[in-house]
Structure 1
């Protein structure tokens, strides 16, 4: 009898599918063996071979283009015309190579490739290019030779360790400044990084780093996998940003877009050598039915070489600490997960799964650990694929974390469909704390997705137009009071029930108003909504600073008390009628009174015997509350009856507030 896999041991509903899971594990190991006789890290060195590189006396450039018949290097050095001196030689296995004297090219020279194929020809940007720039006048993109005289010297190159609990600040470089324009790596480092450090977050997740031709795509229609977006600055400026974050003890991970690619022929790789299926699927599988993009063919070894090399490249060259893999659900299923609701386990094993993509994801995670054991990965996955964030040897795909994508959807549905008078605290606890046993999760109340035009952030759903008129501290508005109280409750509820980490999108911590809308034809190419208004939180006359102070206190609570390290979350009570919820995490008690109108005096919460001290009170004036609780008072538990070992602590619970108390056991009499 076969040994039961660990993920099956933790979920007996997987028992009928153990054979399929084992076959997937075997496929990964067989593919790794077929790809390399050494290590995955050695295999994933394509960026050291392909692309443009400097040798002692020459430049050498290589590309894989099996359908091409001729390739020319063109640029100012050839008057942007094909010239015999710059024609590539075809070598083996579809590779092309050109070697030219070092004096012919210099730092910041522009170049492209002129690629010929049977029946056609076109200008192309190299697949393995590490810098692409856009002409401000023509708006056309070109490759740019980037070989500065002085290479960047890392100042904080000491070994970094994956945080026990990632507290992630999701950020977009371009929209991180207040100006109505595109922000830069340097501006982010100088203006935003200190805010993140002060707020207490230990990880930054950077969006839109890989080059993309359309700014409004939020970076999700990638054209050049190895090129950091030049619209934000130079590669050295990105390195300096990451280096300085590391010096502050902050890890930096990147949104990795390997789920699809931009369709553009001129900027992208979809038709690089005249073949539409060089890197992508043939036929109806080539184009994504929902995203207007192209789908990689993970069954081709050359595609695996490209993508795995890309994984290693960013870790190696820019010292990123890991990745948040975008669109994992889309990768896992032939229908991209769009035609089913995943209500049964057979939907994970019924033949609709892209086994090549599953194999690739497992190899990508294995490569990360092979190259840097302290790197970590997060999967954006919403189907609930079993074993996603379990080790390969346990039957999983090797991700370190899964994003709890159902949580923001749950909050939006609750806010839209029910008045808070009807919120069921027991149901809320179940939804926020429910997770698979074998995996770690990153929880969040909202990310960039909920802030995009056409949607609304939590604060905007709660306050709406009152945001424009009544966020001054001297304004009187019941709508704003309610919105601020619920904003704090929702975020702290999500935080205290978080599985193993927490994520916030920049600005949401202080209730950033309005939505995100990148410049486009429909808004007259305006940057008004593609920025962050830090002046609002810095203005002491406004209430945004109070929400920011609460978020900082919430993050500080974890940094000082380390309660998330204890994965056990205990519901002490959930009184549906009173709308009072009490949760224990480690030695902290979180008491939520969601009741919109009732404040409770001498309310008994079942607890362990001992004394209790208030660490956080959402009703404090500094957090925009009304200071109805004496935060200095020490509370002592009382036995429910004489000689009973069951105790309660009795509290004053104002309406729409949260108290966090720390437990100290009674001193032993022995």
Structure 2
């Protein structure tokens, strides 16, 4: 009989009144006052409303004015001397009839008759500045298309006779744990080609709904010229990428998700912009500093992109308006703000470990960027109170996901990015028989109490070329040859078993939400590599092999079934409603860890070869029922546990001093979940 009587490991989770922040109180206060003053100034100048200020997309670009029965085009270009619209009607040459008039405040404007432009017409701008000129896409373009032959991007008039008629005008998300399925429309099909919004709606969305996830996080929606950038090098911020279809088709996809109770979150890129000049907004008016910092500060050397100057009112207007458009025009339910570390640190956080609070409160923090992020959260929640904002930050900057009312930046959640990095590090550097479970527990559960976090074992970051998915790290080359269920090799048993255990312990300890990247739930066998010169422009690795998931003779099928039931377990028991995750047992030699959350006990035996009978540890007294176990045959396990078995805590007052103990059979490399049915 084995006993694990280690008691509890104290959590390092900090209170909001963190004593470690006391030495930096003056800096924190000054930043907060500066941000508050900026917001009050903008509201005072704009009828008391940030939404009124966020009108860049309403003012600039090409608009049809029904009241005047005519078109108007406006652009903002401080360094420009002349701007022309060039199109088929001008033979793509400059024409005085299409020259914009220079107005005050660096604005250019011209009105055109109703007959001048028609739906789907193509056009560009010719911008002239002192000493040069160049073709440009309007900064507020809402539709940009690429010529299949020349590969040139051009703005397109989008003015259909009838606007999309929303079936769900006001979506109210279900009151469920936040379970996010991270997706990419283009690579979602099994075919070796770029998928569309319509195909995603009809073929992929049903798979996500069936898997039990209630939110999709859609990557690469903002227009980007280079497909292989995964949408991170944005060129036209107000345009939905046309390579996936039309605005109406994207709206239909969002509408269909809402109809099924699924939130649509969007990866928003406001941390930088593509440095392309013809397709993007870099050097739009001939200068580097219209939207971006001048000089080296305006260039991100690692990302080869341009860095916004958040201290400029015009940049704030541009970016805040961008958020407003996606909410009001497309009914997006939330944003994942990408690259926040890069935004708020002048060195972009490159090569830094962030081991001290001093890292967050030095002179190298861009307070203008912090101001923008705070304004962004204030704006989107004013527009839509149920809106979700998520911070993607690797630095651990305190308070990003704390409420504005408590001096935070106002994000609803932050991603616990260190967890996925830790899993990769663990698999790369340590054999699983040597995993230190107390360290694992610390990494999984150390979170600031005032901030809601979303955990994940892996995201798209771990699947991109240059890295590997967890399943590929676990299986190596065996992932291609040993995933048949009649294969009984130790490599297959280990890979399948640990894949399930890693995901279950990650979601079971998650703070307020969980994320999975498309296909990883069934152990997708390949990384993500978009077509490029290196791979002879092949789509082979920029797709998802769904057929593997539906083949009952493969372990991929079992992993998919496990994930579906794991998600169901979390939703059925509203696991995240109780944030208290209480450690019951950790035994390094036995490789056993157990904890309690929301009247459920989770037990993991990570030992590579030993199974334990009558394994005992402290637990809240009562009657428990086995409700889930990774060794279930349908999950690709060995079926060594009795389904629905009941367990009763044993009261021991003699040998160990008035303790309530659970005694369990723990098969090797197995996780089990017990639910408290009756307290004693």
Q: One fold, TM greater than 0.5?
A: yes
Deviations 1:26-72 (A, max 9, x none): 11221122223211112112211111111132111111111111111
1:66 matched to 2:78? The reply is yes
Aligned in 2, Cα 1:99/1:88: closer, same or farther, shift over 3 Å?
Answer: same
Q: Distance in 1 between matches of 2:455 and 2:640?
A: 30
How far off is 1:23 after superposition?
1.4
Deviations 1:445-489 (A, max 9, x none): 000011111211000001011111111112232101110000001
Contact kept? 2:16, 2:449, Cα under 8 Å: no
Name stretches of at least 5 consecutive residues in structure 1 with no aligned partner.
Answer: 1-6
| Partner residue in 2 for 1:3 | none
1:10 matched to 2:24? The reply is no
DSSP-derived class of the 2:618 partner:
strand
2:324 is aligned, of 306, 312, 318, to: 312
How far off is 1:318 after superposition?
0.3
1:223 is aligned, of 220, 225, 235, to: 235
| Partner residue in 2 for 1:324 | 336
Q: Distance in 2 between matches of 1:490 and 1:149?
A: 52
DSSP-derived class of the 1:571 partner:
strand
1:23 matched to 2:36? The reply is no
| Partner residue in 2 for 1:491 | 503
The aligned runs of 1:248-263 (5 Å cut-off) are 248-263=260-275
| Partner residue in 1 for 2:353 | 341
1:506 is aligned, of 501, 515, 518, to: 518
DSSP-derived class of the 1:402 partner:
strand
1:196 matched to 2:208? The reply is yes
Aligned in 2, Cα 1:236/1:444: closer, same or farther, shift over 3 Å?
Answer: same
2:63 is aligned, of 53, 60, 69, to: 53
Q: Distance in 1 between matches of 2:238 and 2:133?
A: 24
How far off is 1:150 after superposition?
1.1
Aligned in 2, Cα 1:203/1:9: closer, same or farther, shift over 3 Å?
Answer: closer
Deviations 1:160-217 (A, max 9, x none): 2485531100000000001101000001101110011111111100000000000000
The aligned runs of 1:4-153 (5 Å cut-off) are 9-37=16-44, 38-56=48-66, 57-153=69-165
Deviations 1:108-164 (A, max 9, x none): 000001111111111100000000000000000000001111100110123424855
1:157 is aligned, of 169, 181, 196, to: 169
- Which shifted more, 83-92 or 8-17? 8-17
Contact kept? 2:174, 2:261, Cα under 8 Å: no
DSSP-derived class of the 2:306 partner:
coil
1:590 matched to 2:602? The reply is yes
The aligned runs of 1:287-302 (5 Å cut-off) are 287-302=299-314
1:520 is aligned, of 504, 522, 532, to: 532
| Partner residue in 1 for 2:668 | 655
Q: Distance in 2 between matches of 1:235 and 1:477?
A: 50
Q: Distance in 2 between matches of 1:172 and 1:395?
A: 35
Contact kept? 2:176, 2:571, Cα under 8 Å: no
| Partner residue in 2 for 1:4 | none
Q: Distance in 2 between matches of 1:232 and 1:459?
A: 29
1:363 matched to 2:375? The reply is yes
How far off is 1:313 after superposition?
0.7
DSSP-derived class of the 2:79 partner:
coil
Name stretches of at least 5 consecutive residues in structure 2 with no aligned partner.
Answer: 1-13
How far off is 1:81 after superposition?
1.3
| Partner residue in 2 for 1:551 | 563
Which is bigger in relative contact order (C-alpha 8 A, separation at least 6)?
2
Contact kept? 2:88, 2:122, Cα under 8 Å: yes
Aligned in 2, Cα 1:8/1:436: closer, same or farther, shift over 3 Å?
Answer: closer
| Partner residue in 1 for 2:677 | 664
Q: Distance in 2 between matches of 1:189 and 1:340?
A: 41
Q: Distance in 2 between matches of 1:10 and 1:464?
A: 46
- Which shifted more, 11-20 or 480-489? 11-20
| Partner residue in 2 for 1:278 | 290
Contact kept? 2:16, 2:450, Cα under 8 Å: no
Contact kept? 2:79, 2:287, Cα under 8 Å: yes
Q: Distance in 2 between matches of 1:162 and 1:520?
A: 41
Q: Distance in 2 between matches of 1:345 and 1:47?
A: 39
Q: Distance in 1 between matches of 2:617 and 2:305?
A: 54
The aligned runs of 1:382-461 (5 Å cut-off) are 382-461=394-473
Q: Distance in 2 between matches of 1:489 and 1:581?
A: 12
Contact kept? 2:177, 2:571, Cα under 8 Å: no
Contact kept? 1:176, 1:531, Cα under 8 Å: yes
Contact kept? 1:265, 1:272, Cα under 8 Å: yes
How far off is 1:8 after superposition?
7.8
Contact kept? 1:563, 1:587, Cα under 8 Å: no
How far off is 1:339 after superposition?
4.3
How far off is 1:645 after superposition?
5.2
| Partner residue in 1 for 2:8 | none
1:238 is aligned, of 250, 255, 268, to: 250
How far off is 1:306 after superposition?
0.1
| Partner residue in 2 for 1:465 | 477
1:575 matched to 2:587? The reply is yes
CA RMSD of aligned residues (A): 1.3
Q: Distance in 2 between matches of 1:331 and 1:43?
A: 22
How far off is 1:666 after superposition?
3.5
DSSP-derived class of the 1:36 partner:
helix
How far off is 1:393 after superposition?
2.5
